[in-house]
């Protein structure tokens, strides 16, 4: 199929000459004014435009400005036509975005050569753009696969660590679900909007499984003890927060985005802090505790109460859990986050019914 060339010139003789020179190799569409050419371009997209500069009503430069302001037309290559062969005119043509410049009266071989080279270059450009798009898509798909593999490895590792205390790995999935639910509900209510964005929530959920990764360094005798821990054992258990930060820095510190690494560290290190400052490991208070850790604290305690552990049976019904947690409002938990969580009781019941079946 022949390429289509739109020739725009107010001189009928020039239009006829262009048709004779180019007609054997290309399909020619002719327009005798700038306005008529724009009307044609509303329905058609030629492969090249030969555009006269000196025309009444709307000159070639004005037409060019219209083309370049239209996202559908701005990539059509343009060769300017003019009898004015001055350097100033030629410079302006190229500054306006023309691919080439042909003087009148036309020299057939020159016009044919310029047209064929311009169309060839434009075809190469399209092929290159297609190749870039294909390669970009492949890179994106590869990156997504690597991210999925990495997420699976992280969750798998976290599950293995959690299973050491008899939680069978459910804790990782459960708390991740609760974190997403809480963060999404907070955002929907317009709370903590400076931090809570959809992108932040995705990173938060991706980070949540690593909140207890430091338990891998806690002895089994403490982690799996069925009864109450001694003060000395509890001090050892508390070290899992700082162990978590050290492990996170080792395994993802050099391969992940700095912001994400900081988010994971905050969750792992501070999710046992308390609103009143009596938590561990640093005794932070209120909003000094990172938002991610305050959300994680609510999700973590809820799941610890709902699920069976080696040291305790599950708490039932869910209303009893809410009562227990409400006693920590403003002492253990951020009161705003806990109030929102309490309001989510119907959603939690629905999710727990699905998870338990």
CA distance 195 to 188: 13
pTM of the model: 0.61
Q: Tens-digit pLDDT profile for the chain (357 aa)?
A: 899 999 999 999 999 999 999 999 999 999 999 999 999 999 999 999 999 999 988 999 999 999 999 988 999 999 999 888 788 888 888 888 899 989 888 899 999 999 999 999 999 988 888 888 888 787 777 666 656 656 665 666 666 666 655 554 578 889 999 999 999 999 999 999 999 999 999 999 988 988 988 888 888 888 888 888 999 999 999 999 999 999 888 887 776 788 888 999 999 999 999 999 999 999 999 999 999 999 999 999 999 999 887 778 899 999 999 999 999 999 999 999 999 999 999 999 988 876 665
CATH 3.40.50.2300 correct for 4-133: yes
CATH homologous superfamily for the domain 166-356: Hypothetical protein af1432 (1.10.3210.10)
For the chain, the structural domain boundaries read 4-133, 166-356
What was the pLDDT predicted at 168? 47
Q: At what angle do helices 335-343 and 318-326 cross, to 10 degrees?
A: 160
What was the pLDDT predicted at 81? 92
What was the pLDDT predicted at 126? 86
């Amino acid at each position: 199929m022949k390429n289509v060339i739109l020739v725009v010139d107010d001189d009928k003789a020039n239009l006829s000459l262009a048709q004779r020179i180019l007609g054997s190799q290309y399909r020619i569409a002719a327009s005798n004014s700038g306005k008529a050419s724009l009307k044609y371009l509303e329905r058609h997209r030629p492969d090249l435009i030969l555009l006269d500069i000196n025309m009444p009503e709307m000159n070639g430069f004005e037409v060019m400005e219209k083309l370049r302001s239209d996202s559908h037309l701005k990539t059509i290559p343009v060769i300017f036509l003019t009898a004015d062969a001055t350097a100033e005119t030629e410079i302006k043509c190229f500054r306006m975005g023309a691919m080439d410049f042909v003087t009148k009266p036309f020299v057939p071989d020159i016009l044919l050569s310029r047209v064929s080279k311009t169309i060839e270059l434009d075809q190469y450009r399209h092929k290159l753009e297609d190749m870039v798009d294909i390669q970009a898509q492949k890179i994106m798909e590869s990156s997504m696969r690597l991210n999925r593999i990495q997420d699976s490895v992280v969750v798998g590792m976290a599950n293995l660590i959690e299973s050491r205390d008899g939680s069978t790995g459910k804790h990782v999935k459960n708390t991740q679900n609760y974190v997403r639910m809480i963060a999404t509900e907070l955002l929907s209510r317009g709370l903590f909007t400076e931090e809570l964005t959809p992108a932040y929530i995705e990173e938060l959920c991706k980070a949540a499984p690593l909140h207890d990764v430091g338990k891998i360094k806690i002895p089994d005798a403490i982690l799996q003890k069925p009864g109450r821990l001694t003060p000395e054992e509890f001090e050892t258990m508390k070290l899992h927060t700082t162990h978590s930060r050290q492990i996170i820095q080792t395994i993802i510190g050099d391969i992940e985005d700095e912001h994400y690494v900081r988010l994971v560290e905050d969750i792992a290190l501070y999710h046992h802090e308390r609103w009143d400052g009596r938590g561990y490991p640093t005794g932070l208070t209120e909003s000094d505790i990172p938002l991610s850790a305050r959300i994680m604290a609510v999700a973590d305690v809820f799941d610890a109460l709902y699920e069976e552990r080696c040291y305790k049976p599950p708490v039932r019904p869910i209303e009893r859990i809410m009562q227990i947690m409400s006693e920590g409002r403003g002492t253990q938990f951020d009161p705003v986050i806990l109030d929102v969580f309490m309001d989510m009781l119907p959603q939690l019941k629905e999710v727990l019914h699905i998870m338990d079946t």
